[in-house]
Chains A and B, each alone.
Chain A
Amino acid sequence: MSAFLAVINPGLLLILAGLICAFMPDQRTRQVLTIATPIAAFWLLSGAVQQEDLMSLSMMGVDMVLYRVDSLSFIFGFAFLIAATLNGIYALHQDDRVQDASALIYAGAAVAATFVGDFLSLFVFWELTAISSVFLILKTGTRAAYGAAMRYLGVQILSGVLLLYGAAQLFAMTGDMSIRSLSLGADAGTWLLLFAFGIKAAFPLMHNWLQDSYPRATVVGAVVLSAFTTKLAVYILARVFAGENILIWIGAIMTVFPVFFAVIENDLRKVLAYSLNNQVGFMVCAIGVGTHLALNGAAAHAFAHIIYKGLLFMSMGAVLYRTGTTKASELGGLYKSMPWTAVFCLIGAASISAFPFFSGFVAKSLTMSAVLYEGHIIVWAMLLFASAGVLEHSGIKIPYFAFFGHDSGKRVEEAPFNMLLAMGLASFICIAIALPSVSGFGYGMLYQMLPYPETAQAYHPYTFDHILTQMQLLVLAAMAFVLLQRFNLYPEERPGTVLDADWAYRRAGYGAALWSGAIWRKAGPALMDVWQGIWHRAYERIESAFSPQGVLARGPLTGGMAVWVAVLLCTVLLLSFLG
């Protein structure tokens, strides 16, 4: 590869292709671009020299590093490029310039952000991920999607602003803009950065933009969205805040609470959004632990997760595409008309539930072991609880209520071939990177890409004990499902809106704004009258006293004053002589 090509950030290539797509009327050309560009980008990436600033420039006294690759950024960038390729295949059936362009620019921004070396460049691509991806939600064309898209954009832009503000504070204190390992201290800068990353990673109480917007995105849009934003935040957290203890707890809480929402949520794409939250929690927790094993766990989990979560969103997208809904209460029995989609969904479900021989198993094991080795028993128990929860909502609920369970009587066509192909490839990856390692094939392929490959090679996921304990957890949890079903204790799927923390701004905050607006409209004129009356009277008083026509300026006052001052002086003089 020529020296010129080897220093181009592969993300920029995707962004360029996206811009071409935006103005390209010919569908065939766009199809080629959406699939070929990520592959070309990977070719660029594979030729890059690691641990070196490959492209940098200095602007306004700030050193910007536009391209730098190391083992941590490589695995995230690689996963993003695989996702972009699969998304391109999944979207082949649709003739939509805006979505093709949006998906490519969004993926490009995420890839570019992964390989930059300073906070200013990160800010640019950070905001670009928000601005480019919002079209994937808007294109649904409903009022609900429009509202969700605007809330999504607002929250994402806020995250970018906090990032810029935090980086500026940091720069003012240290004069260094480079992305580096930081520790949370007394200064506001690092906390602002944590908040910025936290919003994008959907930390607890900052998570609702995700469940609000992803289920309202288009069929292809939700698949595309699921891959990049949160995992970009995971990457940057691993880069900047590895080993921060607070992340252990944030991550652990993040794995547990979505489990409860997922069980009562009726929209299966929203269930997947909660499940995404829960999975990112495992990664955040591992980053908080911060050992080599744990960081390997976070990276491996992110890689595996990008593929299997994309696969699950693809299967639900196919269901939505064919039936027009992803509501569990309206689905069921779809295995009869969409058997291939059902098989791929089951593979995704087994992967996320971490069954042996599926990708979640080899990835999550690293994190679970790291947490246990460091002696965080309570956190470990929370993660184990969340693992049973994952089996509930993603392992069983998603495939069961969509494809099996009560037959809805819906008889539709199987998903289009390109969708099946994308799901098939994703399924293949889920299994290929999870098989016991034989001559380089199997989980060894994943482990050798991890940030600390030596630590990874010393770890063996397929021990008898490990398979036994994991199978116990999963089989007995599945047993609980069967028993609960048999005794009719499993809550039936019911349509409805489930309240979450976004109630605070969507209902309470919005309500307060509406209420104060209404009050102002009603009472405003009267209040203004009172205020103007008070002000008017005060003005009149002041004017009547101090103006040239006022009391103090009236009549002989000025002359009289001088006379009296003279009289007073005389008196004082007289008295002093006499004294």
Chain B
Amino acid sequence: MPQNDNDVHPVSTGLFGWIEHKWTGRIIFWGLLALSAVLILIDLIHHRHVQQDIESISGFYGIYGFVAFAFVVLMGRPLGWLLRRHEDYYGDADDSDGGHL
């Protein structure tokens, strides 16, 4: 909850008020899971028109998307460790004193 409700934009309550609801997280999680299952199930029943053999595997796109996404995110930590340096590495961080000309 925001510390100061007076500062919240009135439109926000209408558009995004549901985010605050305690069930929202669970609904998103189970909703997505159900949707995933439905999409894979349709693929098992429905015969898709394909260009290449690999596409014909049921749920190929879903599995590929899941694995690709997870791989990218999981690479974040090792890559960050490898490539991330302090903010003023090049000596021109905007926040440092005298950053402005």
CB within 8 Å of B: which residues of A?
Answer: 141-147, 216, 259-260, 263-264, 333, 335-340, 342-343, 369, 372-373, 375, 377, 380-381, 384-385, 387-389, 391-392, 404, 407, 409, 411, 414, 463-465, 468-484, 486, 489-491, 494-500, 506-507
Q: Is the Cβ of A144 less than 8 Å from the Cβ of B94? A: yes
Contact with B65, one of A411, A473, A486 (Cβ below 8 angstroms): A473
Q: Is the Cβ of A336 less than 8 Å from the Cβ of B79? A: no
Interface residues on B, range: 35 or more
Q: CB-CB < 8 A to A486: which residues of B?
A: 29
Cβ of A217 to closest chain B Cβ, rounded Å: 12
Q: Is the Cβ of A473 less than 8 Å from the Cβ of B2? A: no
Q: Count the A-B residue pairs with Cβ separation under 8 angstroms: how many?
A: 202
Q: CB-CB < 8 A to A414: which residues of B?
A: 9
Q: Is the Cβ of A411 less than 8 Å from the Cβ of B11? A: no
Separation of A259 and B73 alpha carbons in the complex (Å)? 10
Q: CB-CB < 8 A to B93: which residues of A?
A: 144, 497
Q: Closest residue to B64 on the A side, CB-wise? A: A384
Q: CB-CB < 8 A to B9: which residues of A?
A: 336-339, 414
> What DSSP secondary structure best describes chain B's contact surface?
helix
Q: CB-CB < 8 A to B87: which residues of A?
A: 495-497
Contact with B99, one of A142, A387, A477 (Cβ below 8 angstroms): A142
Separation of A332 and B74 alpha carbons in the complex (Å)? 22
Q: CB-CB < 8 A to A141: which residues of B?
A: 100-101
Contact with B70, one of A147, A463, A484, A507 (Cβ below 8 angstroms): A484
Bitwise interface map of B from 31 to 64 toward A, beta carbon under 8 Å scored 1, else 0:
0110110011011001011011011000101111
Q: Is the Cβ of A263 less than 8 Å from the Cβ of B75? A: yes
Q: Closest residue to A212 on the B side, CB-wise? A: B90
> What DSSP secondary structure best describes chain A's contact surface?
helix
Separation of A340 and B77 alpha carbons in the complex (Å)? 33
Separation of A26 and B44 alpha carbons in the complex (Å)? 66
Separation of A154 and B25 alpha carbons in the complex (Å)? 49
Known pairs A478-B69, A494-B80 / 9 extra A-B pairs, C-beta < 8 Å: A373-B51, A388-B65, A414-B9, A475-B62, A477-B66, A483-B70, A497-B88, A497-B89, A499-B84
Separation of A101 and B43 alpha carbons in the complex (Å)? 54
